Chain A
Amino acid sequence: MRLLILLILTLAAQARTVLVVTADASDFLLAAGGTIASMTARGDTAILLRVTNDEKNSWDLSPDETARRNGLECAEAAKLLGIGKVVSLGYREGELGGVSPTELRDRIMFYIRLHKPDVLFLPNPHAEYVEVLDRHYAGLAAEEASHTAALRNHQPPFAQVGLETHVTRELYYYAQPFDPRRREPESTATFVPQPKVSDIGAMLDRKIRAALALKTINHAVAMRIRDRLESTGRRLPLLDTVNDASVAKLTEINVRTLAGTGAKGTGFQSAEEFHYAGPDFGVPSKFRK
């Protein structure tokens, strides 16, 4: 009994706070959902910061209804990954290119100082050929925020209301595998986050269940594929009838294939790829010991 209490106390002492920044409802889940689920499963507390309102990502719903459903479904997906809280910044989807980068950075910095995360997940703004540029802009803002959150002269009013500076010790830069050079080590291991692969074999089913919660987005993906194929005289037998079952199957294929791509060359069955900056980041190797 004494041992059990000791174990619980040890685990509780090690529990971390994880802040996940995502541009939209699906990106964090598809690129990093398994790793986030692994962390919450071991007792970490996770918070999701969703930057846009996903008002455009549906097949045939109005912007209001699209935003409403995607908001609810994102919250459900986050819950399935063990994320305890979702905060939506509410920017209009697809329009981050017109938002002040400093404004966005400072809003993310607010939440970094508020929650003082040990781990920050952010869209990798340096990943190339990412189609949805909201992810790029949100990633740039989050990367800057992780830096400025630690600096006293950024947003002095924050300190006036009790939001003290904070250094986040671990950064996971995530992106779906668009960039053909994503596995190449960057120029210097000291000052540039390096490629890292995370085994998600034990969490794959949970990631799939979470992805299935994004019903509106998954349906839109299926309909767009079917529409494109139809317009060029083709069909995908799976999508001859687009219903809950066929959309779910397509979603599962998507998540499993991404996990397989992440695992390629690693010895894992299922994995996710990141660029990672750990506690030693920024410390030249000769000083690390």
Chain B
Amino acid sequence: MKLALVWVPLSILAAPLPKVDPPAGKRFLVIQPHHDDHTTDYGMGGLIARLTRMGYEGWFIRASNDEKDGAHGYPHNDMINLRESEAASRILGMKGVYSFNWRNDYMDPTPLLELRAQVILLIRKHRPDIVLGHDPWGHYDRNPDHRKVARACADAVWMAGLRNVHPEHFELGLEPWRVPHQFLKARVDYGRGHEANAAVELSEADVQRKMKAYSAHRNVYASPAMAKSVRAQLAAKGLKAPELDGMTDEQAAVRIEEWHMDWVSRQRGQENGVRYAEIYWYINEFAHLPGLESYIQKNAVKR
């Protein structure tokens, strides 16, 4: 039985989202399970590029060891993917990558409280103004690592601010720190639970860096076989892509991936009234107090 995939433009379904400018701040953490989660097409390389352009310092936490992603066998995949993740993070202007090395795609049985403790420790070390990650309320996410890390992160962002949570950390001179802002990845193609509530505008330079960072994951993307297949399919119809003329299959594969990243950034921009954009579920600093948020926003003044 064949399945028919029908793509419905988001612009038909929804009005433009409110545009959110990243708040002023100093540091951000991206907390996700896999080497490429911060650069994939549905987020979030553009926002990361924008934040580092604003002067933010950023770190990427890779919770799993990515041993199953790629064709080189477990230990090789782990190391290749880590190196490529570091390269992608550098392209986006980030400071570095922490790897927790939990077993890839086996994170359902990973103890939630242990994983959360690791995240809390690094939140207290870096005191990020923003955390980026998967949406813990997303439906239909078949990846156990996405689900587990998102849950751990959802707890950690506020529990890191409580003095009675892991008091041993204070022996190191660390202090409680509640993360005020979150941008959660909105995989609109996954349906309910992945809707966005905010669009972040990107510059052309942000999109360029996003494209390069995505292509840095050569172990899993930009496969020469894919380019070869695209060329063969075009040739079968008597067509060709002139821009790919003279390129090797490897070079052409990178270019095709870049087209896709450019297209998706334009698409999100078009849906939201700007040239380039990414979309997120954004949680602001007082959203956890639904009875007080509006009062604080209305009455808080500069010191």
Asked whether any CB of chain B lies closer than 8 Å to the CB of A94, the reply is yes
> Residues of A contacting B116 with CB < 8 Å?
97
**Known contacts A128-B193, A133-B154, A133-B155, A258 near B303 by CB under 8 Å:** no
- Chain A nearest CB: distance from B64 CB in Å? 19
Asked whether any CB of chain A lies closer than 8 Å to the CB of B178, the reply is yes
- Chain A nearest CB: distance from B182 CB in Å? 10
In the bound complex, do residue A258 and residue B299 qualify as a contact, i.e. CB atoms below 8 Å apart? no
Asked whether any CB of chain B lies closer than 8 Å to the CB of A191, the reply is no
Q: Mark A246-261, 1 if CB is under 8 A from B, else 0.
A: 0000100111111001
Instruction: Tell me the residues in window 249-303 of chain B with beta carbons closer than 8 Å to chain A beta carbons.
Output: 283, 285-292, 294-296, 299-303
In the bound complex, do residue B165 and residue A129 qualify as a contact, i.e. CB atoms below 8 Å apart? no
> Residues of B contacting A255 with CB < 8 Å?
291
In the bound complex, do residue B290 and residue A178 qualify as a contact, i.e. CB atoms below 8 Å apart? yes
Asked whether any CB of chain A lies closer than 8 Å to the CB of B169, the reply is no
In the bound complex, do residue B155 and residue A233 qualify as a contact, i.e. CB atoms below 8 Å apart? no
Residue from A57, A95, A254 within 8 A of B289 (CB atoms): A254
Instruction: Tell me the residues in window 126-153 of chain B with beta carbons closer than 8 Å to chain A beta carbons.
Output: 137, 151
- Number of A positions contacting B (CB below 8 A): 44
Instruction: Name which residue of chain B comes closest to A59, CB basis.
Output: B163
Per the bound structure, the CA–CA distance linking A235 and B302 in Å amounts to 6
- Chain B nearest CB: distance from A13 CB in Å? 38
Per the bound structure, the CA–CA distance linking A261 and B193 in Å amounts to 22
- Chain A nearest CB: distance from B105 CB in Å? 20
Asked whether any CB of chain A lies closer than 8 Å to the CB of B162, the reply is yes
In the bound complex, do residue A131 and residue B154 qualify as a contact, i.e. CB atoms below 8 Å apart? yes
Instruction: Name which residue of chain B comes closest to A63, CB basis.
Output: B164
Residue from B165, B180, B283, B285 within 8 A of A56 (CB atoms): B165
> Residues of B contacting A97 with CB < 8 Å?
112-113, 116, 151, 155
Per the bound structure, the CA–CA distance linking A95 and B111 in Å amounts to 11
In the bound complex, do residue B163 and residue A224 qualify as a contact, i.e. CB atoms below 8 Å apart? no
Asked whether any CB of chain A lies closer than 8 Å to the CB of B219, the reply is no
Per the bound structure, the CA–CA distance linking A96 and B291 in Å amounts to 25
Q: What 8 pairs across the A-B complex have the smallest Cβ distances?
A: A254-B291, A258-B291, A128-B137, A56-B164, A257-B291, A97-B112, A98-B113, A131-B288
